Amino acid sequence: MPSTPRDISIPGVDNITHSLVGAALAEIALPADAPPARRTLFLTVGIVAANLPDADLVYTGVTSAPLGYLLHHRGHTHTVVGLVAQALLLGALCWLPAVRRRCGAPDARLYLLLAAALLSHLVLDSWNSYGVHPFWPVDVRWFYGDAIYILEPWLWLPLGVAAALNTRRRRRAMVLGAALSLLPVVLAVMGMIPVIALVALAATRAAAVVAIRRLRPRVRSLVALGAMAMFVAAMFALREHVRGVLLAAPLPASDTRLVDLVLSPRPANPLCWSALAITSREDADEYLLSAMQVGVVNGACGEGSARVTPQGATVQSLSRLRALHARDCAVHAWLQFGRAPELGAGIIADARFGGADRPNFSTMPLSAGAEAARCPAHLTAWGRPREDLLRGGP
Ligand SMILES: [Zn+2]
């Protein structure tokens, strides 16, 4: 099954990556002579803080589905203001008498770790096509990295090798190493990554073990984070290349406006990308959602694959979208999340995750009559990604 953006059903960077980054940051922050209890405290704080913003999942039920998830996950806890609140909360927990008795009083290293781990969550989540709106309430716009797939084995690799080698207990280290090596195999079995990528990952993992085995734990973690940063930088450079390839193609009609280009690489295959172009034609009262597959080189997306392969398009009515936005309170709220709105028979769905023909977590039934004016509870105030389509004009 191709993993185009239309197939992504797991939103957000996975918590394996967040946890591995938290563990690496803890290792860097930890003094070399720290006793075991202090080490446990640092690792716990690093991993918990690196995942804490996803605690918003516990209250998505305050608004009816699917809006609760769409508006509250990656909501307030994924903003700079939310991070400050979480830092204060975690910092206060470290002052609890029970924690201080067992692990010692919090110090500058621990606070720095806490801040870095919390911030890492927002940074990592900003790398894919799901987006974040970190500067609310000052700036309510969404920002999309469009450069990293949500489950990326090449990120797990350096961080996972460092984490396994840094684990003091031999059995735990072996279990962690084996589990992280098996994850890409699971993705391959599910058809999400090609077998050749599995071979490349295994060979690179073996080389990484040899390369960093003799380093001190802190240096290992620094090297792993450095390798991750290099991979991410390379992916952003590739994103620009792919964007350039797509922008070089002529638009189908002179009055066509390119509204947005959603990009996402395939997992473990940085040379093959999925693209979703959103274009509009104001005079024709339509906008188009066009899915494509883009290879950085010929054959990157499979044997004989071309550089750009169209994968289907849907024509949508601009006036219908605008009318629903104006009169249906739930759609008005849904559009605080939807980046690629696709209207089907009685539903609206985001084409990034499957669209109207493949129901997914973003699919919302449309209300009829007076029902439509009724607003669900606890709505948010994020910017609308498709304000450009709703407003119209060039
Ligand atoms: Zn998150």
pLDDT tens per residue, range 26-69? 999 999 889 999 999 999 999 999 999 999 999 999 999 999 99
Q: What is the pLDDT of residue 99?
A: 84
DSSP string, 328-358: -HHHHHHTTT-SSEEEETTEEEETTTT-TTS
Cα–ligand 1 centroid distance for 207 (angstroms): 31
Given pLDDT bands bounded at 50, 70 and 90, which one contains residue 253? confident
For residue 154, the tally of other CB atoms under 10 A from its CB is: 24
Q: What is the pLDDT of residue 324?
A: 96
Rg of the chain, C-alpha, whole Å: 23
Q: What is the mean pLDDT of residues 258-266?
A: 96
Cα–ligand 1 centroid distance for 56 (angstroms): 9
Cβ contact 62:149 at 8 Å: no
Coarse DSSP helix, strand, coil percentages of the chain, rounded to the nearest 5 percent: 50, 15, 35
* DSSP-based three-state secondary structure for 94: helix
Given pLDDT bands bounded at 50, 70 and 90, which one contains residue 304? confident
On the CB side of 59, CA atoms within 13 Å amount to 11
Cα–ligand 1 centroid distance for 144 (angstroms): 13
Cα–ligand 1 centroid distance for 148 (angstroms): 14
**Alpha carbon 40 to chain centroid distance?**
28
Q: What is the mean pLDDT of residues 200-227?
A: 96
* Residue among 107, 119, 127 at smallest CA distance from 13: 127
- Scored b (16 or more CB within 10 A) or e, 88-113 reads eebbeebeeeebeeebeebeebbbeb
Q: Quick check: 392 pLDDT over 70?
A: no
Cβ contact 17:10 at 8 Å: no
241's tokens: 């290349």
Q: What is the C-alpha separation between 30 and 69, in angstroms, rounded?
A: 36
Mean pLDDT of the chain: 92
Domain ranges in the chain are 5-238, 251-391
For residue 35, the tally of other CB atoms under 10 A from its CB is: 11
Least trusted range by pLDDT, from 145-154, 262-271, 350-359: 350-359
pLDDT tens per residue, range 117-139? 999 999 999 999 999 999 999 99
Residue 287 main-chain phi, psi, to 5 deg:
-135, 155
Q: What is the C-alpha separation between 262 and 38, in angstroms, rounded?
A: 44
Cβ contact 337:325 at 8 Å: no
Cα–ligand 1 centroid distance for 154 (angstroms): 19
Q: What is the mean pLDDT of residues 319-345?
A: 96
Q: Record the pTM.
A: 0.94
Cα–ligand 1 centroid distance for 249 (angstroms): 35
Q: What is the pLDDT of residue 361?
A: 94
Q: What is the pLDDT of residue 306?
A: 82
Cα–ligand 1 centroid distance for 155 (angstroms): 16
Cα–ligand 1 centroid distance for 59 (angstroms): 14
pLDDT tens per residue, range 66-104? 999 999 999 999 999 999 999 999 999 989 998 888 878
Cα–ligand 1 centroid distance for 221 (angstroms): 22
| Helices and strands of the chain, counted as H and E runs | 13, 7
